[in-house]
Amino acid sequence: MQDTPAAAGGVPFWTRSSTIRVLFATLSVVGIIAASAGTACKGAGQLPQGKRARLQMSAALREQLTALGQTAEQEGVRTFRQKAEQGDADAQYSLGVSYREGKGVDRDYAQAVAWWRKAAGRGHASAQGALGFMYASGQGISKDDAQAVQWYRRAADQGIARAQFNLGVMYSRGQGVLQDDIEAHKWRNLAAAVPESAAARDRLAQDMTPAQIAEAERRSQEWTAAFENRQQ
């Protein structure tokens, strides 16, 4: 079974941006309320007039909440864009997320790549990991495994677990880098925050010698010690 690179969507990369985290949390609540209102409206035609009227009000509420959610997304994009154009890396990253997810703007992978590239150039770790995924998947840019490895590594070296996992996948497959089970095991060891990482590491270990596993673990410990020293 081959491992699949962790996507640049949902939780993986954009949880480092507190602004977009709050915005998406708000929109999630709006969506839940709107969905509940929509569910309540099913079968309204079979109910007594009083209940039917109340459910019609629920439908109106659902429409209002949907409009509110769209307005909030658009306002979020305006805020991100203003800051992004001033060179704020977090805003550049968040604007890229908006374009990739189609939140407040039409989905546009090329624009997502453009803004993530700006943020990545400023050292934004999550943007670097996201850019790596776009190169690996060919979304919004020509597929380039060597570039994917480069950006995954930059994010991985800053401790982004999803990038560490994806770098391990690249080493395991020999994509953009020479195939190396020891390095693949090392990066999966380091990507402990990714749920599927341990299982992927253990599957790989079945085809490795005890000496190779020991070397991978040594490299993992060495990387961790160096990373912790950099944080001091």
Q: Spell out the per-residue pLDDT of the chain, length 232, in tens.
A: 456 566 654 333 333 444 445 555 554 544 544 445 454 444 545 555 665 555 566 666 666 656 566 677 888 888 889 999 999 999 999 999 999 999 889 999 999 999 999 999 999 999 999 999 999 999 999 999 999 999 999 999 999 999 999 999 999 999 999 999 999 999 999 998 899 999 999 999 999 999 999 999 999 999 999 999 998 8
**Other CB atoms closer than 10 Å to residue 180's CB: what's the count?**
17
Q: Among 11, 27, 33, 140, which Cα is nearest to 74's?
A: 27
Q: Is residue 2 part of a domain?
A: no
Q: Among 91, 93, 95, 100, which Cα is nearest to 140's?
A: 100
Q: Is residue 3 part of a domain?
A: no
Rounded alpha-carbon distances, angstroms, from residue 213 to 138, 178, 183, 202: 32, 18, 10, 10
Q: How far is CA 94 from the centre of its chain?
A: 11
Q: Is residue 41 part of a domain?
A: yes
**CATH code of the domain in which 49 resides:** 1.25.40.10
Total structural domains in the chain? 1
Note down the domain range covering 103: 11-231
Contact between 11 and 199 (Cβ < 8 Å): no
Q: How far is CA 109 from the centre of its chain?
A: 14
Q: Is residue 4 part of a domain?
A: no
- Return the SS3 of 73: helix
Q: Is residue 6 part of a domain?
A: no
Q: Is residue 212 part of a domain?
A: yes
Q: Is residue 163 part of a domain?
A: yes
pTM across the whole model: 0.74
Q: Is residue 110 part of a domain?
A: yes
Rounded alpha-carbon distances, angstroms, from residue 91 to 29, 96, 190: 23, 8, 28
